[in-house]
Structure 1
Amino acid sequence: MSNRGLIIAERSRDIGDFLVGRLIPFRKKRMIGPFIFIDHMGPVNLGPERYLDVDQHPHIGLATLTYMLEGEIMHEDSLGTKQRITPGSVNWMIAGKGVSHTERTPADLRDGRSLVAHGYQIWVALPKDLENTDPKFYHFGADELPQWQDGSTSFKLIAGNGYGKTSPVPVHSPLFMLEIKTIEDYILDTSNELSGEIGICIVKGSILACDNEIKSGNILVSKVSDVCKIEVKANSHLLLFGGEPFNEERHIYWNFVSHSKRTVDEARESWKNRTFPMMKTDKTYVPLPG
């Protein structure tokens, strides 16, 4: 693949400086900087009889970033963490050598009301020498994250470094994740503001890039140095993410990520045999796929 970039949609297409498509990984682009997986949750209506219940499942070799736009989730894990996440805040779980967790609609919201869940679950691969680190969990409220305005356009730095600011989220390699919301048309210029590969996720609205209009539900991918001028249309909502790519390929199987296929295989067997670190407060178990 050349450095001219991609757009990522269900069938990715090339528009010149970008690839466009839907979320990652996809066939032409496995990672964007250290970001290896992005899952768009919803928006989905919950209740009165159906709520979010993601049973106990494992991770290795990555950090998970949960960012909600609407709705709330209760996170619990094998470290003993119990943390409610609300819109605009960040749950950052470093899986390292192994952690299990569940994600559920909080018990006090299961009262028959109708709810909306809408957010993103993101995996960030760890550097090779930190893949086997001890697992940790961090939570940051929305008011702890750097936020600023450029005219009527608002910015929030969710993780990493960008625009001369640093998020408190303890990342392990050069990366960034930003949220941008526009009220009026806005020319986005990331030159000298972000470092590494860049992905632009259109949550709402649309952008004009290289004479193409790209609408919500797509991701554009490019090198920062290659980015042509991007016009973000009024009342749009973007997530920007990326950073410096790793030198080594990453293997991914289900919820396991590593530069070593052997490590992935060992984690797979450990989960299958239930010798993986497990939660003491939850006895559910999601089996290996297939």
Structure 2
Amino acid sequence: MSNTGLIIEERSRDIGDFLVGRLIPFRKKRMVGPFIFIDHMGPTTIKEGNYMDVDQHPHIGLSTLTFMLEGELMHRDSIGTEQRISPGSVNWMVAGKGVTHTERTPLDLRGTKEFTAHGYQIWVALPKHLEDIDPEFHHIDASSIPNWNDGTAKFKLIAGSGFGKTSPLPVHSELFMIGIKAEDSYTLNVQGELEGEIGICIVTGAIEACNETINEGNMLVSKVEDSCTLILKPGTHVLLFGGQPFPEERHIYWNFVSSSKDKIENAKKLWENKAFPKVSNDHTYVPLPGT
């Protein structure tokens, strides 16, 4: 992406029986536009004794975007939402001043045949003046997400605006998240199509950028105006994400994001004192790290 860009290698870690790859935050790049956190979930085989069960945990100051490529999850939260997510659809939870949620393998898929779970859990920081809004939840079916082709390349506008189109997802800042699958070799030009900083996550396959080949499991970061020509090799799947960065720094501790360290400290105390709103009929509790 020119010599000002970064190539970030996915770092794997285990959460229970799941292997998760952390892409950002990275020590040299804390955010890409308003995107502050990206976890790559799987691909992993879901079977008896290996279900996804993320217990009750809190968030402030951000929106979570869950996007599944394979498999399904059930989302439940403290504002009363119970929403199943299937491949190609989007769950968008706006934490604002504070929300609690869980994500689990749906009950009807437990004890049945094995299946693959593969997706992305993404956090988008809220603008400073919206950090304390009331929590919201939105689900967008796959059929409502803009799709188009350019030759044999297939585009999907998951969130925000780009390439002259806008996703129905109700975002709070200037951003984009776009999936591209290239059946054949495809030259991608983002000049004039996207604005702000850009991250390119290589889900499968490989791309050529600035005379260098970057394989799956890596992410490129640059500014749109600095980007060189990108060539997606046949069979490559990438996610583009980013947008305009905020003028203020964002602080992150565990599941809390804010422009204010004091707000994060307050959220820590509330969670320790079990004073956050609760998910109905769920008595699980993930403690603060180190407690």
Q: TM-score range by the shorter chain?
A: over 0.9
* Alpha-carbon distance, 1:49 to partner: 2.2
Identical-residue share of aligned pairs (%): 66
Matched positions, count: 280
Distance change in 2, residues 1:239/1:280 (3 Å): same
Distance in structure 2 (CA, Å) of the matches to 1:285 and 1:263: 21
Match of 1:127 in 2: 127
Match of 1:118 in 2: 118
Distance in structure 1 (CA, Å) of the matches to 2:229 and 2:192: 14
Match of 1:170 in 2: 170
Which amino acid counterpart does residue 158 of structure 2 have in structure 1?
A: I
1:207-246 equivalence runs, <5 A:
207-246=207-246
Which amino acid counterpart does residue 76 of structure 1 have in structure 2?
A: R
Tell me if structure 1 keeps the 8 A contact 2:10–2:217: no
Tell me if structure 1 keeps the 8 A contact 2:22–2:38: no
Match of 1:257 in 2: 257
Matched, 1:60 2:32: no
Which amino acid counterpart does residue 239 of structure 1 have in structure 2?
A: L
Which amino acid counterpart does residue 4 of structure 1 have in structure 2?
A: T
Matched, 1:198 2:189: no
So what's the TM-score if we normalise by structure 2?
0.94
Match of 2:139 in 1: 139
Tell me if structure 2 keeps the 8 A contact 1:251–1:258: yes
Distance change in 2, residues 1:286/1:22 (3 Å): closer
* Alpha-carbon distance, 1:45 to partner: 1.0
Which amino acid counterpart does residue 45 of structure 2 have in structure 1?
A: N
Match of 1:72 in 2: 72
Structure 1 alignment gaps of length 5 or more: 12-20
Distance in structure 2 (CA, Å) of the matches to 1:22 and 1:216: 14
Distance in structure 2 (CA, Å) of the matches to 1:50 and 1:152: 37
* Alpha-carbon distance, 1:113 to partner: 2.0
* Alpha-carbon distance, 1:40 to partner: 0.3
Tell me if structure 1 keeps the 8 A contact 2:33–2:246: yes
Secondary structure of the structure 2 residue equivalent to 1:88: coil
Match of 1:15 in 2: none
Matched, 1:88 2:74: no
* Alpha-carbon distance, 1:22 to partner: 6.2
Structure 2 alignment gaps of length 5 or more: 12-20
Distance change in 2, residues 1:272/1:136 (3 Å): same
Match of 1:153 in 2: 153
Tell me if structure 1 keeps the 8 A contact 2:72–2:106: yes
Match of 1:272 in 2: 272
* Alpha-carbon distance, 1:235 to partner: 0.5
Which amino acid counterpart does residue 119 of structure 2 have in structure 1?
A: G
Secondary structure of the structure 1 residue equivalent to 2:23: coil
Distance in structure 2 (CA, Å) of the matches to 1:140 and 1:110: 25
Tell me if structure 2 keeps the 8 A contact 1:8–1:22: no
Question: Runs (4+) of structure 1 moved beyond 4 Å?
Answer: none
Tell me if structure 2 keeps the 8 A contact 1:22–1:217: no
What's the C-alpha RMSD, in Å, of the aligned pairs? 1.4
| CA deviation string 1:240-280 (max 9, x = no partner) | 00000000000000000000000000001100000111112
